[in-house]
Amino acid sequence: MGTGRKLNRYEQRMTCFFYILCAFFICSCGGNKTANKEKKTPLAAELPKDEVRYVKSIQLTSPGKDKMYAFNEEIVIGFESKDRFPVDSAAFYIDGQQIATAGKEDRSFTYRIPEGKTGNMTIKVMAWHPDNKRGIATTTIRVKPDQAPAIYSYEVVNVFPHDPKAYTQGLIYQDGFIYEGTGQYGESSIRKTDMQTGKTLSVLNIDSQLFGEGITIYEDKIYQITWRSRKGFIYDLKTFTLESTFNYNSEGWGITTAGDHLIMSDGSNKLYHIAPSTFNILKEVEVYDHNGPVDQLNELEYVDGMIWANVWLTDRIVVIDPETGIVRGELNLPGLLPAADKARLDDKDDVLNGIAWNAGKGTFYVTGKRWPKLFEIKVKLIPYGR
């Protein structure tokens, strides 16, 4: 093409289109360069769960199942793997929380049990093998406190009359009166009593097919549980009018109010934290002292953050931390009821039962099943070493 010749209209249009196309190409390339700079290198993705193969490749060599250990005691968590499953790595878990990892050659980890909740502790080991295979082994141990409970002594400051026909299951002091729940088929009731005279001021007998157990007061309502029928009742405190019923999935023994919720026992070594509105279980706590589980927990009383509990068929009251299950103290009351009175009782089960707290005086009221007396006692801690 000669430089002096003018372009015709068609050539001008084609030349213009060419330059526009070049400009678009250049801009597009520049835009891609910017995107590439901002684009991050992708992380290695986890394989889908359905591609993980769980195999029976490992087993725990220690600790032994259900073996008892104390706080601050060291345990060795050990495992072994089958020859055809070489271990790439492993992890150790206590109650679902990872506490340590191990390499290819490690097969154990030493763990010191911290002071915390008593009862069952779950131990798990997970091992990773080639070809995306994993092995899991679990066991449980039991944990108890490493110290004996503190010992309390007592002094009797008053003695009041008590209905010898009342098979005491629950006992509460409020506003100068004693509220009591009684048991036995055909004899179960709730009652309000004049403490000075022992006279029953109000009484409501329940169905003769039901065996009454513990009672507690929550927001001007009386909650009453029963032994084996798994049924409870809520009454108006002033009138004893039945307002509603509730159900639960265990035996009913003792019950008390702990702030905004209830705590119940079922004759085992467990305490159940209960929602008053629904009676749903909020949590369970296993009770242990330095010797092991403490069962037969019966009548309960909540005092300054601790649960005081009768141990059925004994003269022992244990003081329990309701959050951890640790028995912090104990009070023994042998000989509280005079021998002459005790001789008239059925020695099979007419025993110490019933604890009520008078916060204003800092004293307890205690009695027993069919006991003729109610005792007001002052409790104090025995100095260590005495």
User: Is there a common fold for 54-144 and 150-381?
Assistant: no
Confidence check: pLDDT of 39 > 60: no
Cα–Cα distance list, 94 to 99, 110, 113, 266 (Å)? 7, 12, 10, 28
Give the start-to-end residue ranges of the domains of the chain.
54-144, 150-381
Q: Residue 258, CB half-sphere, CA atoms under 13 Å: how many?
A: 25
Using a 10 angstrom Cβ sphere, with 0-12 exposed, 13-18 middle and 19 or more buried, the burial of residue 50 is: exposed
pLDDT value, residue 30: 41
Q: Taking a C-beta distance cutoff of 8 angstroms, is the pair 69, 144 a contact?
A: yes
What gap in Å lies between CA 65 and CA 137, rounded to an integer?
12
pLDDT in tens, 3-16: 344 444 444 444 44
Which top CATH class is 54-144?
mainly beta
Please report which residue ranges of 39-172 form alpha helices under DSSP H.
none
To 5 degrees, how large is the angle CA 278–CA 283–CA 288?
Answer: 140
Distance CA 342, CA 370 (A): 10
- Report the distance separating Cα 115 and Cα 348, nearest Å: 38
Q: Check residue 49 and report its DSSP letter.
A: G
**Among 199, 200, 266, 260, CA closest to 232:** 266
Note the pLDDT tens digit of each residue in 201-221.
999 999 999 999 999 999 999
Q: How confident is the model at residue 384 (pLDDT cuts 50, 70, 90)?
A: low
Count of other CB atoms within 10 angstroms of residue 278: 9
Residues ≥6 apart with Cβ < 8 Å to 11? none
Whether the CB-CB separation of 178 and 358 falls below 8 Å is answered with no
User: What is the share, in percent, of the chain residues with pLDDT greater than 90?
Assistant: 82
pLDDT tens digits, residue range 297-322?
Answer: 999 999 999 999 999 999 999 999 99
Of 322, 306, 321, give the one whose Cα is nearest residue 355. Answer: 306
pLDDT tens-digit profile of 245-301?
999 999 999 999 999 999 999 999 999 999 999 999 999 999 999 999 999 999 999
Instruction: Assess whether pLDDT exceeds 80 at residue 226.
Output: yes
Residue whose C-alpha is closest to residue 74's, from 84, 62, 85: 62
Mean pLDDT in residue range 222-237: 96
- Mean pLDDT over 59-88 rounds to 96
Question: How many residues are listed for the chain in this entry?
Answer: 386
The whole-number pLDDT of residue 27 equals 38
Residues 6+ apart with CB under 8 A from 353: 168, 169, 298, 299, 310, 312, 367, 368, 369
pLDDT tens string 354-378: 999 999 999 999 999 999 999 999 9
CATH 2.130.10.10 for domain 150-381: yes
